[in-house]
Amino acid sequence: MARRTARTALSTAPARRRIVGYVRVSTDKQADGGHSLEAQRAKLAAYAELHDAELVATFEDAGLSAGTLDRPGLDGALAALDRGEGDAVLVVKLDRLTRSTRDLGALLDRATAGGWALLSVAESLDTATAAGRLVVSVLGAVAQWEREAAGERTAAAMAAMQAAGLYTGGPPPYGYRVSEDGRRLVAEPSEGAVLEAARELHRAGLSLCAIGRALAERGHRPRGGGAWHHNTVSRLIAA
């Protein structure tokens, strides 16, 4: 009887969870030890061992951003799950999968439809449970809010710098150059003379093409050389 009971218990033991791993680094984080592919793989292996799960395969995307779900490594991981080769996809952190709430929602829908779960080491998440699905949705929404808020703060700071006459980057507009300390835009006399000539010709009623020809005849050239085009002259007049 004891042997029969033991055999019965063995046959009803739950199967080991089969996990498909996914790792990613973006170009500017290749050298970051905490986010390197090797470090991520090690964390996935440790997670699988701790939870007595089988890490059946690990897919990677090196030097690709999370701006889109269209990535070779991620496509491979999702295809393996669709083929039934795993019960869940495991990442070190949710942002390895995506930084978009919309894309995260799409992944959750695909996981639900396919019968697999999304697991994250850092967030201790398992979307096989209702609580896990709720938490991952909230975290995704908070992350997107933080990115949008940071963008708003950056835009406000740039606007304040521009209002104060500080240089905010990019090519200076025609008629100006960057100051020696790199902080301000200062007038460029030679280009300023071209600006004034273009405006004077415009006030005289000349067309944009005629203004360009007149500037060329006077020996004036656009920044970088070449010929005056009507759109270039238009920007001069509007400056």
On whether residue 51 sits in a domain, the answer given is: yes
Q: Where are the beta strands (DSSP E) in the chain?
A: 18-25, 54-62, 88-91, 117-120, 125-126, 176-178, 185-187
pLDDT of residue 181 exceeding 90: no
Predicted confidence band of residue 153 (pLDDT cuts 50, 70, 90): confident
On whether residue 170 sits in a domain, the answer given is: no
Considering the domain architecture, whether residues 19 and 128 belong to the same structural domain is answered as yes
On whether residue 183 sits in a domain, the answer given is: yes
Predicted confidence band of residue 182 (pLDDT cuts 50, 70, 90): confident
On whether residue 150 sits in a domain, the answer given is: no
On whether residue 94 sits in a domain, the answer given is: yes
On whether residue 162 sits in a domain, the answer given is: no
Which of 142, 165, 189 represents a domain boundary (last residue)?
Answer: 142
pLDDT in tens, 66-81: 888 999 999 999 999 9
Considering the domain architecture, whether residues 80 and 189 belong to the same structural domain is answered as no
pLDDT in tens, 129-146: 887 877 777 776 776 777
Predicted confidence band of residue 200 (pLDDT cuts 50, 70, 90): confident
Q: Containing domain of residue 215, as a range?
A: 176-238
Gap between the Cα atoms of 199 and 81, Å rounded: 65
Known catalytic residues? 26
Tell whether pTM > 0.75: no
The number of distinct structural domains making up the chain is: 2
